């Protein structure tokens, strides 16, 4: 068969801890549990137009026409495994990684850089997680991109540059997970709070009603900071899962000094804003800094 190149999402789903399972339960029982888990994973493909490529031991390789279909299938897989675990004494856990790009399709198999990257992403994923790449996130519709968040930049074997790794939030409990390169989401605080930001004596508010605010040098930003260290769309603050979160998108990073004088620097990462403090866009803290954004969290009126 002639090889064809297509744009596809490539997904690997791997059963976590299968070696220990064989040691704990014995070959026969472990094999049956793994076969049941593989069957559950495969069952999610039909709904999302997935194609089963092959099973590699305790791992499956499949493809989808779009990144969104791959993400939805991955979420369904995790939910199905979680539901099945409620009826067994031997819970199973799966880690899923996917990537989107050009794939060489030949004789019922898939090859190429996209496949290799997807495999590497799955390899760095923890049990019950779904990780994906920046390329896959860029291919998602804007309406579902709030389900993913960047957690780190990773070295991928064969790649000269690091790539962005994103986590898919497939259930509410995911909002409490912690990974290298990201701040942990905590349990939502009490309702009825707002974040007050002040820049050059002008106040700005982020709250349940006004959930997002942009900071940067561009005139379209809500808080405009005309400074050469500041990127055009430098950062944004969002009210999400009961927290006020600063997301940095800049070249020079964002610096946060909290009320206890501790300073946090983030660059293409995010951090939760707590209590009160100040934000410096693009410049480390010095005594002579002028363009500081003050913030404080208060009960809403």
The full set of domains in the chain, from first to last, is: 4-176 (3.30.70.1230), 193-299 (2.60.200.20)
Please give the chain's pLDDT, 301 residues, in tens. 578 999 999 999 999 877 777 878 888 988 999 999 999 999 999 899 999 999 988 899 999 999 999 999 999 999 999 899 888 888 888 999 999 999 999 999 999 999 999 999 998 888 888 999 999 999 999 888 888 988 887 777 777 788 889 999 987 544 444 333 333 333 344 457 999 999 999 999 999 888 999 999 999 999 999 998 999 999 999 998 788 999 998 888 899 998 888 888 888 888 889 899 999 999 888 766 778 999 999 987 7
Q: Are 165 and 131 in contact (CB under 8 A)?
A: yes
Helix axes 67-85, 27-43, angle to 10 degrees: 140
Q: Are 272 and 243 in contact (CB under 8 A)?
A: yes
Length of the chain: 301
**Residue 240 to residue 236: CA distance in whole angstroms:** 12
| DSSP character at residue 183 | P
Q: Are 151 and 158 in contact (CB under 8 A)?
A: no
Q: Which residues have C-beta within 8 Å of that of residue 59, sequence separation ≥ 6?
A: 12, 13, 14, 15, 122
Question: Among all chains, which residue has been given the structure tokens 């499956």?
Answer: 60
Q: Are 67 and 9 in contact (CB under 8 A)?
A: yes
pTM above 0.85, yes or no: no
**Residue 292 to residue 256: CA distance in whole angstroms:** 10
């Amino acid at each position: 068969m002639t090889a064809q190149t297509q744009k596809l999402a490539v997904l690997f789903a791997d059963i976590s801890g299968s070696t220990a399972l064989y040691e704990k339960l014995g070959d026969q029982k472990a094999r049956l549990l793994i076969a049941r888990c593989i069957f559950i994973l495969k069952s999610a493909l039909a709904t999302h137009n997935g194609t089963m490529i092959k099973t590699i031991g305790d791992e499956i390789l499949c493809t989808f026409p779009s990144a969104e279909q791959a993400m939805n299938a991955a979420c369904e897989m995790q939910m199905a495994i979680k539901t099945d675990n409620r009826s067994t004494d031997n819970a199973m856990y799966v880690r899923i990684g996917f990537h989107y790009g050009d794939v060489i399709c030949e004789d019922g198999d898939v090859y190429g850089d996209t496949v290799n990257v997807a495999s590497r992403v799955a390899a760095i994923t923890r049990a019950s997680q779904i990780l994906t790449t920046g390329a896959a996130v860029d291919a998602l519709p804007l309406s579902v991109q709030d389900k993913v968040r960047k957690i780190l930049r990773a070295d991928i074997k064969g790649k000269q540059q690091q790539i962005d790794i994103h986590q898919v939030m497939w259930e509410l409990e995911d909002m409490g997970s912690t990974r290298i390169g990201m701040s942990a989401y905590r349990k939502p605080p009490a309702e009825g709070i707002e974040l007050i930001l002040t820049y050059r004596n002008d106040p700005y508010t982020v709250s349940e009603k006004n959930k997002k605010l942009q900071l940067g040098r561009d005139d379209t930003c809500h808080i405009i900071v005309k400074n050469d260290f500041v990127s055009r769309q430098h950062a944004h603050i969002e009210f999400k899962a009961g927290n006020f979160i600063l997301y940095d998108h800049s070249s020079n990073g964002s610096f946060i000094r909290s009320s206890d004088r501790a300073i946090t620097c983030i660059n293409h990462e995010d951090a939760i804003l707590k209590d009160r403090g100040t934000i410096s866009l693009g410049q480390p803290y010095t005594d002579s800094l002028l363009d500081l954004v003050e913030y404080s969290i208060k009960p809403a009126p």
